[in-house]
Structure 1
């Protein structure tokens, strides 16, 4: 196995960077360190939001982390959030938080259009950064941030938490161990949650395709990343991407607004293994199917189901049958996939559950507790590859023909 090793300093942690030739995700580890990783969250609000829903409870239930600081859009809102969540340091800007010597890891949980301006100060300050997905509003922004992180020599992570979720890690192992034999095809049907007939004020920005927060980048992006984690990368794709609802209605005011972002995505392709893949994502919600994913092989079948469009939040169920077995039966996730997070076993549908598992994996990368053969947390370079895949899918839809993906672009 070809492998390169280099060293870099990240705050109080000396990080050893390893890139293996057959690794699907870049991995970084350190020598063991007993001090907690001090976290500063950009975008934690007293009024709620994703940081409050997922990141705060995920960190609260983990050893090895201390939620030390936050920043908000103003000094007043920062103070309110600090008081509500008992966070010692509250800053009025992301720049102030990034400069603080009390912060090791900066977590960015704001809307996608602001990622570039709020992640950049943390990287320039030499801080580790955990950014929500998508990394940037487009591929160019993601490349800029990944390049800056590389130049500064800092550890990065991206919130593609499905990769860390126990059911998906178990699913990947089932496939690798031959549960279905040789994979022949895979089909994924999902609802988008965004891209429906209505919108509210909090999500008005997703109507604009240039925001970077679209049906393609968020629901489809999380989903295709999970598919490639389990089954491998695409070799070629064909795609249809349509905006069939160019006007949508505000759910509160009744005002009609223009929408340029897509609401229908249909992608077919061939994986590097030779298996055929089909993915269809619809804007809004469906009364019939929120999420359904099949993997069909020469020896059996696997199915992933979820009752909500944001299936990567958690609450997925696995089913399988092989050989002479008849109907599909549920496949409980073995306890070993819970790692040290037994407290989340009965809370697998909680949006914080998969995020907590990603934080646990990231902690082990930072402190040196990660086994050598363990897939690491996706970093900014992985995010660039995923942004590139989405760009090529959009390009395939634009030219109306199959696009063969280069190794770099896939």
Structure 2
């Protein structure tokens, strides 16, 4: 099978964040990645910027450079379009390719809000575009191990679950100029939509969705200071919550009991000294599972560089044992940030993305609807 011909949107040398280069390129330029994919084109803010990225990252000189989403969408040689830009330009950069029926892989969040995400999902259904969304913690081996334990009945039927999560960064009263958009919830990219969004998604991928739920959000530090690139400072305000508390009843399933509860607490900033920044407990009729991570809830990215212990308690014996899990050998050769993304690429190339539960646009709309329901409680959602 010939390599899938891929176009990357957002591989830039001047970007404030480097998710494309740190998360996507390591796999795509690896021996395994090259067997399955070929980088055919780049799309940046201008053709000149794309050409600079081709040269700067040492890509083949034949890689096409585009400065227009419409030009990229019209290229018949591109099989898969991958978007790694800031969230508020996702819609404009990928919509032409979705309309053209191309396969599209978009990093999370899919769009600024559920309305935009729904429009993209509807358009993809009309055009037949295959879609993937970068909620990659779903395919993290630690997540899949917990899912295996739950579905195997290792703890009986789930009766409740609780999550305590803190971010290792943030929680202060200042932010760099490049990330100041995190303070404006209308942009769509912030700690709630990104960090909490990734976390609640992999929790739901194991336990299923809420049947009913209620949320409480708080802005504890509305007054913020922007640290400009020239070293000067300026005051601003945040309208993004830094505390999220959700409780509700899970949908009944073969592994989840009727009326089972899911309680989630998420705070921006570090936990109390000596406490774990991420603990997820699943209680069943026969036992309990607990996952923790010293890097917080970031199972999808840098958290993968650290041990993620999983423990299983048997109520009948009181025994607590460690449950092992491991990376595929080829994943271990990649930087931690790229391992779960690499798995998504591999599953797509093998035609197994749907089978393993990789998120698509429709799944992203479900997650966006839940997040928008909390962040924009006074707005009617589609």
1:312 partnered with 2:300: yes
1:44 partnered with 2:32: no
Match of 2:358 in 1: 377
1:358 partnered with 2:323: no
| CA 297–201 in structure 1, closer or farther in 2 if over 3 Å, else same | same
Match of 1:102 in 2: 77
| CA 393–261 in structure 1, closer or farther in 2 if over 3 Å, else same | closer
Residues 83-106 of structure 1: per-residue CA shift (max 9 Å, x gap): 122332222233322222331100
CA RMSD of aligned residues (A): 2.4
1:70 partnered with 2:42: yes
Match of 2:98 in 1: 123
Q: Distance in 2 between matches of 1:133 and 1:224?
A: 13
Q: Distance in 1 between matches of 2:72 and 2:294?
A: 38
Q: Distance in 1 between matches of 2:2 and 2:206?
A: 34
1:282 partnered with 2:267: yes
1:205 CA drift (Å): 0.9
Match of 2:216 in 1: 240
User: Contact 1:113/1:211 (CA < 8 Å) preserved in 2?
Assistant: yes
For residue 73 of structure 1, give the secondary structure of its aligned residue in structure 2: coil
Residues 118-164 of structure 1: per-residue CA shift (max 9 Å, x gap): 11111122211000111110111001111111111110110000111
For residue 275 of structure 1, give the secondary structure of its aligned residue in structure 2: strand
Match of 1:387 in 2: 368
Match of 1:262 in 2: 241
Match of 1:35 in 2: 2
| CA 167–157 in structure 1, closer or farther in 2 if over 3 Å, else same | same
Match of 1:404 in 2: none
User: Contact 1:319/1:330 (CA < 8 Å) preserved in 2?
Assistant: yes
Greater shift in the superposed pair: 377-386 or 191-200: 191-200
Q: Distance in 1 between matches of 2:378 and 2:246?
A: 13
Q: Distance in 2 between matches of 1:247 and 1:56?
A: 38
Unaligned regions of 5+ residues in structure 2, if any?
Answer: 253-258
Residues 299-326 of structure 1: per-residue CA shift (max 9 Å, x gap): 2211111222423212433222224555
Q: Distance in 1 between matches of 2:83 and 2:133?
A: 10
Match of 1:17 in 2: none
Residues 29-50 of structure 1: per-residue CA shift (max 9 Å, x gap): xxxxx01111111000124611
User: Contact 1:196/1:285 (CA < 8 Å) preserved in 2?
Assistant: no
User: Contact 2:286/2:316 (CA < 8 Å) preserved in 1?
Assistant: no
1:293 partnered with 2:280: yes
For residue 216 of structure 2, give the secondary structure of its aligned residue in structure 1: strand
Q: TM-score, normalised by structure 1?
A: 0.80
| CA 257–39 in structure 1, closer or farther in 2 if over 3 Å, else same | same
1:82 partnered with 2:49: no
For residue 81 of structure 1, give the secondary structure of its aligned residue in structure 2: helix
1:189 pairs, out of 151, 160, 164, with 164
| CA 93–289 in structure 1, closer or farther in 2 if over 3 Å, else same | farther
Q: TM-score, normalised by structure 2?
A: 0.86
Q: Distance in 1 between matches of 2:171 and 2:97?
A: 32
1:394 CA drift (Å): 4.2
2:322 pairs, out of 319, 330, 334, with 330
